[in-house]
Structures are given as C-alpha cells and as structure tokens.
Amino acid sequence: MKKESAVLLLCVTPASAQEKNGFKKFNVREDFTMNAVQWFRDAELLAAGNKEKSNAMTIGWGGIGILWGRPALTVYVAEKRYTKEFMDKSEYFTVMAFDAKNRKVLNYMGSKSGRDGDKAKALGLHTAYTENGTPYYTEATMVIECKIMYAAPFDPRYFKSDAPKNMYADFPAGIHSMYIGEIINAWKK
C-alpha cells in the first residue's frame, strides 16, 4: 500500500508558481504571434537578480528569433543603468509585457532608478520567482525567461554607420551591452 501511494504521488505534478499566479506556459517557437518589431517598440520590462535583491527597467530595444539553433531573446542595457549590475551577476533574466492598464509600470520603471529605492514596492507590484529564482512581476501579462548565452558591450571601433555614432555622441548612460538569452520558459495570461 505504501509503495502504491508513493507511485501515485509521483504522478501528480503540483502547479508551478507561475500557474498559481494566473500564467500558462506556452511554446515560444510555435505560439509567439507578436510582431517582434512592434513588441519592443511598445516597450517591455527587463528584470534580473535573485530572491535577495533584484531590479527591473523598461526596455525599448530588443530582438527575438533563433540563434545557435535555439530560440533567443536579445536585450541591451547601458553601462550606467542599475539593472546592468544585476545582469552581469545573473545567469538568467526575464522580459515582461504589460497590458494597457499597467502602462504606468513601464513609464515609472523607465524614469526612476532602483538605486534610489524599491521601484516594484513603490508601484505595488508583486515579485515572484521562477524555478530558477529569476524575478518577475505577477501583474505582467507575459513573462519570458532566458538563460544568458552571450554578453558583451558594443565596441565603437565596429560601428559601421552614423546611427550608433550619433546615438552615443551625447548619451549620458554610456554605451550599451548586448545580452543574448536562450528562451527557456515562456508564460502568458
């Protein structure tokens, strides 16, 4: 009888923290139907860190596709942004989308620094964590979790057009670093 009970327990999978927060897992290769150019133009939220300390910031630059045979998401963080410290120490990051009623989240996260206080707390956001310990907010409508495969700052020696040269000519936050993450999980409400 004890042996049968143990087998039965192994067959029952408890709901993940994401499911408990109203998210359902989806296959990003098959079910990501957003126009990637529009998706990043509308701005998303990037978060990194761990259960002890994390930070998030609004991003308007990024890319999603396939790299090295894996679904990948690329984000860019300027060197003086507080979130960069977390990205450089983390193995994982999340990118989150919010619906129109929560656009204030993106505006606030993009205009305030986490160095000056807990932005999530100020907005009344609820921080949750993936099985890998990656932070996200339960108020998001979509969460994509990535494992960092590559990270490096842009090198001005390789700028081939005036677009990046002009961008950084008078940009106080400093040059951006590129982080390419393998998409390992994706959830949406």
Q: What is the pLDDT of residues 53-79, one digit of tens each?
A: 999 999 999 999 999 999 999 999 999
Return the pLDDT at 15. Answer: 60
CB distance 182 to 156 below 8 Å = no
Distance CA 29, CA 18 (A): 19
Contact between residue 35 and residue 99 where contact means Cβ atoms under 8 Å apart: no
pLDDT in tens, 82-114: 999 999 999 999 999 999 888 899 999 999 999
Architecture of domain 17-188: Roll (2.30)
Nearest CA to 185 among 151, 148, 150, 147?
147
DSSP code for 53: -
Global pTM value: 0.89
What residue spans define the domains of the chain? Answer: 17-188
Q: How confident is the model at residue 17 (pLDDT cuts 50, 70, 90)?
A: confident
d(CA 15, CA 85): 32
Report residue 176's pLDDT band, with 50, 70 and 90 as the boundaries. very high
